[in-house]
């Protein structure tokens, strides 16, 4: 069971790393694009565009995090059931 919990911690760190990298890439691409297109967009619209992108980014990352949580809870329940069955077999032998 300890190995399962260590694996869960590692997977959680991996997911967080991927979410952070995704957020950084989106922010870097957004900033670069807005710097290159500053004359076309205009000053007042940039704030609106940045806010919309940030809201969409937070929603997307939140949905990805929730999907991970749901999927991992489902898998952890199955692993726990299997672990209990194996423990029963070990005690019976």
Extents of the domains making up the chain = 2-92
Reported as a single tens digit per residue, the pLDDT across 39-58 is 666 666 777 888 888 999 99
CA distances (Å), origin 91, targets 34, 53, 81, 87: 65, 56, 16, 6
What pLDDT score was predicted for residue 77? 83
What pLDDT score was predicted for residue 92? 78
CA distances (Å), origin 10, targets 6, 17, 55, 85: 6, 11, 28, 25
Reported as a single tens digit per residue, the pLDDT across 5-41 is 788 788 889 989 999 999 999 989 988 888 777 666 6
What pLDDT score was predicted for residue 85? 85
Please state the pTM of the whole predicted model: 0.68
**Which of 68, 48, 67, 58 shows the shortest CA–CA distance to 27?**
58
């Amino acid at each position: 069971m300890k190995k399962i919990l260590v694996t869960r911690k590692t997977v959680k760190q991996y997911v967080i790393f991927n979410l952070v990298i995704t957020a950084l890439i989106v922010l870097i691409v957004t900033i670069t694009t807005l710097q290159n297109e500053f004359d076309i967009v205009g000053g007042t619209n940039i704030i609106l565009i940045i806010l919309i992108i940030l809201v969409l980014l937070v929603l997307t990352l939140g949905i990805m995090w929730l999907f991970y949580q749901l999927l991992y809870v489902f898998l952890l329940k199955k692993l726990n059931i299997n672990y209990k069955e194996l423990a029963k077999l070990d005690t019976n032998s």
